Chains A and B, each alone.
Chain A
Amino acid sequence: MSDVPLIELRSVFKIYGEYGVRIKALDDVSLKIYEKEFVAVTGPSGSGKSTMLNCMGLLDRPSSGEVLIDGANVNKMPGKKVAALRGKKIGFIFQTYNLISRLTAMENVILPGVVNGEKKELLNSRAIELMKEVDVLHRAKHKAAHLSGGEQQKVAIARAFINSPCVILGDEPTEALDTKNSENIMSILKKMNETHGVATVFVTHDLSQTKCAKRIIELRDGKIIGDQRGGTGNE
């Protein structure tokens, strides 16, 4: 394992202010995510889980503090460079899948690659492999709108891996699914983490899902109140 963390948050604050009210969504959060880690972020609603994930994924900029991706400080990077870094290094899995309904499953999977200017032939063959891995290849030519929730999330997982990122960030990836599909998705994520060696960080407030994580970070009121390593990673 490399000594350089893939993602590092250094004393990160995120403060929202509206109508004179200041809310500290993140309060002096420092964190390092390394290669191949499978991390669950938990905490009650409003504890800052998603905000932290957004800062880690460069979707949002912290109010203060530093964010480093693969050792590079992104604070002073221009927006274009941040966007490129985000596209190449980070894969996202959203709670509501965020597939583009008029595109087919295959088109959705290759979309991040297209955005990053990769060749379509290469993307297609990689997409077939990924869809096979998540067991959704048989639906490759179907429109996203015609897929079930579980299938949509599988497509979203394949999509997150298409650019061979170093970190996958999942914001409550099973929240919209039933128990069976949730378990299925979690096992796919776990399997992909092991197969591809890509660090995975997912937010959940379902404690049962933390069982499969090797590291559990707990947040409350924007602060990290627990960071447990050494889990088996087996349910």
Chain B
Amino acid sequence: MSKASRIYAWGEIKDHRRIYTIIIIVIALTMSSFMLTHAAILYTSQVISSTTKMALSSDVCILAPGSDERDLYGGAVEIPDAGEIEKTINELPGYRASVRCVLQGSYNVGDGFDGCVIQGIDLKRDVELEKIKSGLVQGEWFDESKEYLHHRTGIKIDLGNLTSKIKIKDKTIGRIDFEIGNPGEEPYPVIVGETATKVHPIKVGDVISVIGTKGSRGAFSASVVTIELKVIGTYRSGTPTLDQLVWFMPVDCLREIKGYGSFTDAPPQKLLSLPQLTDKIGFLLQSIPFVSEISMYNITLSDIGSTLEGVSEGLILADAGFEVDRGAGEIILVRAPEPRFHMKEIAHSKDVVNELRGAIDGAMNYVIYSSHDLIRYISGSMQDIANIMHWIMMFIILALATFAIYHAMDNIVLRKIREIGTLKAFGATDGAILEIFLNQALFIGFLSGGFAVGISVIAMRFINWYGGISIGFIGETQLDIKFLVTWSIVLITFILPILVSILASILPAKKAATLSPVEALKKGEISL
């Protein structure tokens, strides 16, 4: 009675169209909201993904042994033989690699400090050079023929090993370097993210004093440097958050600032007595946030003086000739050969990492991240939470819809009990009756799923046609909401309502099917 039960079931739906329409609308809208939200989340992920690749990394990042993801934002340890590794990778067919330096910094914005991560990029070889360049919205790009170097004319005061001499909050500061990077020299050029210029009073042409933390994570040293930076341009990556944080400068400038290289002549060294030292410290303390931290714990200069008791001398370096090590850096970015962006991106990322591990000497010691690992790190948990919440909400609503279908179907069975009895009297088997009600469930499911996909597609097209939804974000920036749909989500949106309606209908359908004919006819008479 397969065809007959389908026709009969369709008639039933038409007969109870009001209640079924409500159920179908509820399920369709629930699934539609699921599909739209998922498509928006997916789009956001892709934005984060492409931005991450553009602003921070390439297909693969290589870090020094013992590093982790945090080191990508500064604090990374210098990679031994970075230049050699870069060379090895560049010899692999289809691969390109470049070394980057990273400096974590803070700058004064009038009423306090804000942070930034300065990425040193190779102006000729950086694997993401073209992308960063194409994001320039104001000012000018770096003069690629110029080196912008100052031959390390800064002043460095090395207080030597002060283990157990200075304690802050019960923690021992082992070593302190204070350094002025380029006093009186031409400021280093920097291109800042567009968001930073909207959030803070920074504009192209400004000279900003940035205090960088040179100390690597895990190093036994608090090493800070103050540097003067000139904003020569602004860029836009598409993700305002990153544009506030990540700034770019030529990699050799950063190598010089971080001291990656060697002195060409013996730097003038000068031993300072304790009063001279405290005097110098006093000068430097004016410009570094570390001071406010000390003062937070009510430590005064005289306290430092007394703490330094027993330290009789310090070292001052100035006006030294310096040659930058052009292979040095903390991160090696690698552009893998095609295919890069396709459906099997995760698998491809793993293949690339494995290939690099095979090519680099001692690769097992290095930390190698694929872009997929980084994206997961940057946005993974946020996305996971959004996704989990989203699925939970959908399941709650679908559970309610399941109850609604169950009760509607149960009610219909009760009202149709005489018809069921009559059909059984005509020879309809239990299976045929079950089929009728399950066919109704299938119709509901198909219609709900179909409408859900249809509504979503129409909504997405309408929103995109209307120009997309844009919401205010950091500063005056806007965050666009667009959609990206995968077949798996379309399939889930379509199939889930079918499963839900079948699930909800099984019990009432079984109840109807197992009624004995005489019982159904009698109950039907009573309910008349």
Q: Which residues of A contact B (CB under 8 A)?
A: 54, 57, 59-60, 79-80, 83-88, 92, 94, 96, 98, 100, 102-103, 111-112, 114-117, 163
Collect the chain B residues with CB atoms within 8 Å of residue A59's CB.
424-425, 516-518, 521
Known interface pairs A94-B422, A98-B422, A102-B14. Does A88 touch B427 (Cβ–Cβ under 8 Å)? yes
Interface presence of B265 (CB below 8 A): no
Collect the chain A residues with CB atoms within 8 Å of residue B525's CB.
96
* Complex Cα gap A172–B139 (Å): 98
* Complex Cα gap A54–B426 (Å): 13
B15 touches A102 (CB 8 A): yes
B418 touches A115 (CB 8 A): no
Please name 13 further chain A to chain B contacts, defined as beta carbons within 8 Å, in addition to the given A92-B425, A163-B426, A163-B427, sorted by A numbering: A59-B424, A59-B425, A80-B431, A86-B427, A98-B422, A98-B521, A102-B15, A111-B423, A112-B426, A112-B427, A114-B4, A115-B432, A117-B1
* Complex Cα gap A68–B432 (Å): 25
Collect the chain A residues with CB atoms within 8 Å of residue B11's CB.
102-103
Collect the chain A residues with CB atoms within 8 Å of residue B516's CB.
59-60
* Complex Cα gap A84–B428 (Å): 8
CB distance from A58 to the nearest CB of B (A): 8
A96 touches B517 (CB 8 A): no
Collect the chain A residues with CB atoms within 8 Å of residue B429's CB.
79-80, 83-84
* Complex Cα gap A6–B518 (Å): 21
Collect the chain A residues with CB atoms within 8 Å of residue B1's CB.
114-115, 117
Interface centre among B11, B422, B516, B528 (most CB of A within 10 A): B422
- A111 and chain B: residue at smallest CB distance: B426
CB distance from A220 to the nearest CB of B (A): 22
Complex A-B: 7 CB contacts under 8 Å = A57-B425, A59-B516, A84-B429, A98-B421, A98-B422, A98-B521, A115-B426
A115 touches B430 (CB 8 A): no
Interface presence of B206 (CB below 8 A): no
A83 touches B521 (CB 8 A): no
Contact partner of B427 (CB less than 8 A), chosen from A54, A60, A87, A103, is: A87
CB distance from B44 to the nearest CB of A (A): 49
Collect the chain B residues with CB atoms within 8 Å of residue A92's CB.
425-426
* Complex Cα gap A94–B421 (Å): 11
Proximity bits, B401-434, A CB within 8 Å = 1, else 0? 0000000000000000011011111111111100
* Complex Cα gap A94–B425 (Å): 10
- A57 and chain B: residue at smallest CB distance: B425
Proximity bits, B1-33, A CB within 8 Å = 1, else 0? 100100000010011000000000000000000
Collect the chain A residues with CB atoms within 8 Å of residue B425's CB.
57, 59, 86, 92, 98
Collect the chain B residues with CB atoms within 8 Å of residue A85's CB.
427
B422 touches A83 (CB 8 A): no
* Complex Cα gap A57–B432 (Å): 19
B521 touches A94 (CB 8 A): yes
Collect the chain A residues with CB atoms within 8 Å of residue B518's CB.
54, 59-60
CB distance from B18 to the nearest CB of A (A): 14
* Complex Cα gap A85–B517 (Å): 14
Collect the chain A residues with CB atoms within 8 Å of residue B521's CB.
59, 94, 98
- B424 and chain A: residue at smallest CB distance: A83
CB distance from A2 to the nearest CB of B (A): 23
Collect the chain B residues with CB atoms within 8 Å of residue A79's CB.
429-430
CB distance from A157 to the nearest CB of B (A): 14
* Complex Cα gap A87–B424 (Å): 8
A115 touches B517 (CB 8 A): no
